[in-house]
Amino acid sequence: MGYIGSNLNEGTFEQVAFTEVHDLLQAGEQVIDVREEIEYQAGHIEGAVNIPMSSIRQRLDELDMTRTVYVHCRTGERSYNMAMMLGANGFNVKNIAGSYVFVKAYEDMMQYNNPLRKNILIGDCNACASELEKRK
């Protein structure tokens, strides 16, 4: 946590609030989900492209370097690491603070309060990869 705080203070790491994800997707922004494929399949954000942390180095060519890359995972640890790696590789990158867990809770609440709001959640994943693996 100390590194994250330090990097935020020094401006080497940027974040956007989980409450902004809906608008980012509506604007056609480049959002990537760095969770493993099994997590993504169990539930994800519509419009987010799944490029797992385990394969992102081999798939950098799938990202548009001319556009900001917004990164999320389940809780923020993997997306923080991937945001730092992408930044070191020349990408303009922002971490989605709170990641999938907060986005899901927020979007569920927003959908409950306004059923006409576009639902950006697909599936119902609240589990981590190890828990999903056990369910197979």
Residue 2 is predicted with a pLDDT of 45
Q: Which two tokens stand for residue 64?
A: 């548009």
Question: For 62-106, what is each residue's pLDDT tens digit?
Answer: 999 999 999 999 988 899 999 999 999 999 999 999 889 999 999
Give pLDDT, residue 3. Answer: 47
Query: Percent of the chain having pLDDT more than 70?
Result: 82
pLDDT-derived band at 123 (thresholds 50, 70, 90) equals: confident
What's the Cα-to-Cα distance from 42 to each of 32, 105, 125, rounded to whole Å?
16, 16, 5
**Cα–Cα distance, 19 to 88 (Å, whole number):** 26
Q: Which residue has the higher pLDDT, 69 or 122?
A: 69
